Amino acid sequence: MLSLNVARLLQSRGIDNVSRYLVEKGMKYHTVNRLLSGKTDSLTYATIEQLCILCTCAPNELFVWRDDGSHALAKDHPLHTLKAKDEVVNPVERIKKLSVSKLEKLKEFMDGLEKEG
């Protein structure tokens, strides 16, 4: 079963109130409510594009797939790549728990990533 991964995706980027964030960024409350509650059966290209821009992601990252047993898919079927990952923890909360020496290592790592562009 294919479903949206928007809340989890934004939470992994440190956004706790996903609904408020999306509305503040210009999405209509009704649309946000339907998207986050799983009560939508279709998405327009414009909505997918808007979500990709707001989530800083590609379209495939907006979705997760859970095998509900209704389809017999080969083990190498591309839908398997959309399976939900392990529990996402807000990175800000994880960073707050690091020691000063580990924060310095994190800074160096991030500096290197920024240089890569």
Q: What angle do CA 109, 90, 87 make, to 5 degrees?
A: 105
| Nearest-angstrom CA–CA distance, 40 and 54 | 19
Q: pLDDT for 1-38, tens place per residue?
A: 788 989 988 988 888 899 999 999 999 999 999 999 98
pLDDT per residue over 48-71, tens digit each?
999 999 998 999 889 988 877 787
The pLDDT of residue 87: 61
Tokens 């327009």 -> residue: 44
CB distance 1 to 65 below 8 Å = yes
Per the DSSP assignment, residues forming a β-bridge with 64 are 3
Q: Which of 47-56, 67-76, 102-111 has the lowest mean pLDDT?
A: 67-76
**The pLDDT of residue 85:** 65
